[in-house]
Structure 1
Amino acid sequence: MDLFHGVLPFVQVAEAGGFRAAAARLGITAAAVSKSVAKLEAELGVALLERSSRHVALTPEGAAFLERCRAAIAQLQAGREQIAGAQREPHGTLRVTLPPVLGRSILPLVARLSARYPRLSIRLLVTNRLLRLAEEEIDVALRMGPLDDSSRIARALRTPRWITVAAPAYLASRGTPTSPADLARHECIKMVLHGKAVEWSFRAGKDAIDVVTPSRILLDQGDLLIDAVLHAIGIAQVLDFMAMPLIEAGVLVEVLAPFATEGPPLHALTPARRASVPRVRVFLDALGDVLGRGGHGARRSPTTRPAAG
């Protein structure tokens, strides 16, 4: 005997008051509803409904069985909603790859998501290597610069500015540069990406130009670069999100602000099949709060040269 055969048609007939109304609710014919209920009665060995040409009524046994059926259906619906809700809640391990320059900025987001979603684990792969998302089972890749793969979903986060920063103590001892040419007399700490020192960029009129500055210290870790500036070792050019909290706190100072220019665009990439996974969706939505939004929504990434990070 099929435990659930005929139960839903029977409940619909009892609640709708007839076979035709029940059939309309279920999207089947009245004859199919009648046949299903009759088979249920035969299996139970008792009449559940009293039928006449004008109406349908419950027998005493039918009324008792209806209450049991309603309770069972309510429990089943509650179970389905519980399971569906659990699937909608972010869970599992979120694997994110990002360049070192973004590490310090992402940590507040990791802390917030970890506290909010106890079933979510986050693994950060901090590297300048361009990892293959499919082979490394990456959920999200944060990339700086133009994109090179049209098979992934890319969300434009923002286009940051290159800003030049120093500690107040350094400026007090070495003076404050007022033009890029003044940097020749300063200690310049440079960022290294993919094995090469990043030359500093400044705005000259409507154009951006690279300026070769003297440098004795090269660092490929964004947090170390900021720490070096905080220790008054020299001046550095960084992406604005790396230093803005420290500038607002007064521990760093932006210099040469009139010459600041745009940096590389920042995107979040994810394989198309993972874009709607809850753990990926909440991470992407929260990125805007941490790094700022340079664009809304998602788009297919264009085919251009590789991105940085």
Structure 2
Amino acid sequence: MENLRRMALFAQVVRHGSMSAAARALGMSTSAISQQVRALEQEAGVALLHRSTRQLSLTDVGGRYYAACARLLDAAGEAAAELSAARHAPSGELRLSAPLGMADHVGPALGAWLRDHPQLRLHLHFEDGWTDLVQARIDLALRFGRLPDSDWMAQPLGTLQRWACAAPDWLRRHGPPADPLQVPASEWLGLAQVPGLAWRHRASGQERQVPAHPRLVSHNQPAVRQLCVSGLGVAVLTSLDVMPLLADGRLLRLLPDWDIPALPVWAVTPHRQTQPAKVRQAIERLGDYLARLPGAVAGAA
């Protein structure tokens, strides 16, 4: 690494025409520059510069060596420019991980942004489990609910309301419950990774704890939603999952007087250092989209 630094200093001396000019440009002393160039010559065992009291000139080998050092200096400048561009303009590939329930929302959330930046590529990874972001080379992950302990950076995007829902056919067979505990344990549908929920009656403040022992369990949120639409039971679903189904009548909301804690939404990145533009802007677009959804609240989770 020290040799690379000396090569860069040597190239700067040649470009500026003198050691004193290079020293002024780099904010160093002339003696420090001279010492580094002499160390380079001593290690190489050849003279790189002809020195006189009035000017410097390159030896034959120094000229060839300078050409190689100049390429190195230019490559370093290009690398710095690439980093600056990545910091200020989105480019390259964005690897995004999100829950399966987000599959229908990534397009509306990021579509216009992707059209504005044709140099940006998007690699989507949908799953309801928890991926090792570093091992999977994920730049940005959307996660719902409680996060496991990790060294990753988690930024709250907001919350989603959760509602108990059932199909009209289920409601005809069982009638509308007035209390969460009136729903038989055998009629609940749920996600395997979701614990029991605390319910609170809005008017009286009464609380209920529904055990996490549903009859049908899945690791896949869309599967739980489809089982609910099929009339097989009652599911607690997010506003993100059910707004279209409530609008067209395929699902009905149960227990409207009871509140369930909202579901936090997080933007998780594997690094705490400065984020590239593609990650920062994707987080902004996803947050803006979430804020416009019915049943969502933007901001801190």
- TM-score, length-scaled by structure 2: 0.59
Contact 1:153/1:269 (8 A) holds in 2: yes
User: Does the residue aligned with 2:227 lie in a helix, a strand or coil?
Assistant: helix
The amino acid of 1:238's aligned partner reads L
Contact 2:189/2:214 (8 A) holds in 1: yes
**RMSD in angstroms over aligned alpha carbons?**
4.1
Q: In the alignment, which residue of structure 2 is the partner of 1:226?
A: 225
The amino acid of 1:244's aligned partner reads M
Residue correspondence of structure 1 range 281-296 to structure 2 within 5 A: 281-292=280-291, 293-295=297-299
Contact 1:164/1:260 (8 A) holds in 2: no
Distance (Å, rounded) in 2 between the aligned partners of 1:198 and 1:101: 19
Distance (Å, rounded) in 1 between the aligned partners of 2:165 and 2:279: 34
Residue 185 of structure 1: CA displacement? 7.8
User: Does the residue aligned with 1:265 lie in a helix, a strand or coil?
Assistant: strand
Q: In the alignment, which residue of structure 2 is the partner of 1:269?
A: 268
Q: In the alignment, which residue of structure 2 is the partner of 1:183?
A: 183
User: Does the residue aligned with 2:192 lie in a helix, a strand or coil?
Assistant: strand
Residue correspondence of structure 1 range 108-147 to structure 2 within 5 A: 108-147=108-147
Q: In the alignment, which residue of structure 1 is the partner of 2:8?
A: none
Residue 275 of structure 1: CA displacement? 5.1
Contact 2:114/2:120 (8 A) holds in 1: yes
Distance (Å, rounded) in 2 between the aligned partners of 1:262 and 1:237: 11
Residue correspondence of structure 1 range 197-212 to structure 2 within 5 A: 198-204=195-201, 206=205, 209-212=208-211
Contact 1:174/1:186 (8 A) holds in 2: no
Segments of 5+ residues of structure 2 without an aligned counterpart are 1-14, 17-83, 292-296
Distance (Å, rounded) in 2 between the aligned partners of 1:263 and 1:112: 29
Structure with greater contact order relative to length (CA < 8 Å, sep ≥ 6) = 1
Q: In the alignment, which residue of structure 2 is the partner of 1:254?
A: 253
Distance (Å, rounded) in 2 between the aligned partners of 1:86 and 1:295: 26
Contact 1:95/1:124 (8 A) holds in 2: yes
Note if 1:240 corresponds to 2:244. no
Change (3 A) 1:172 1:263: same
Residue 262 of structure 1: CA displacement? 0.8
Note if 1:161 corresponds to 2:156. no
Distance (Å, rounded) in 2 between the aligned partners of 1:185 and 1:150: 34
Contact 1:159/1:263 (8 A) holds in 2: yes
Contact 1:275/1:281 (8 A) holds in 2: no
Change (3 A) 1:115 1:175: farther
Distance (Å, rounded) in 2 between the aligned partners of 1:234 and 1:93: 41
Residue 200 of structure 1: CA displacement? 4.2
- TM-score, length-scaled by structure 1: 0.58
Distance (Å, rounded) in 1 between the aligned partners of 2:206 and 2:282: 35
Q: In the alignment, which residue of structure 2 is the partner of 1:75?
A: none
Change (3 A) 1:207 1:290: farther
Change (3 A) 1:275 1:112: farther
User: Does the residue aligned with 1:159 lie in a helix, a strand or coil?
Assistant: strand
Render the CA deviation track for 1:239-274: whole Å, top value 9, x for unaligned.
Answer: 232212332344322111211211442211224466
Q: In the alignment, which residue of structure 1 is the partner of 2:43?
A: none
Segments of 5+ residues of structure 1 without an aligned counterpart are 6-83, 298-309
User: Does the residue aligned with 2:257 lie in a helix, a strand or coil?
Assistant: helix
Change (3 A) 1:235 1:111: farther
Contact 2:87/2:276 (8 A) holds in 1: no
Residue 211 of structure 1: CA displacement? 0.8
Distance (Å, rounded) in 1 between the aligned partners of 2:152 and 2:123: 20
The amino acid of 2:200's aligned partner reads R
Contact 1:154/1:267 (8 A) holds in 2: yes
User: Does the residue aligned with 1:262 lie in a helix, a strand or coil?
Assistant: coil
Distance (Å, rounded) in 2 between the aligned partners of 1:247 and 1:147: 29
User: Does the residue aligned with 1:283 lie in a helix, a strand or coil?
Assistant: helix
Distance (Å, rounded) in 2 between the aligned partners of 1:266 and 1:105: 14
The amino acid of 1:123's aligned partner reads H
Change (3 A) 1:216 1:130: closer
Residue 285 of structure 1: CA displacement? 0.8
Distance (Å, rounded) in 1 between the aligned partners of 2:212 and 2:86: 55
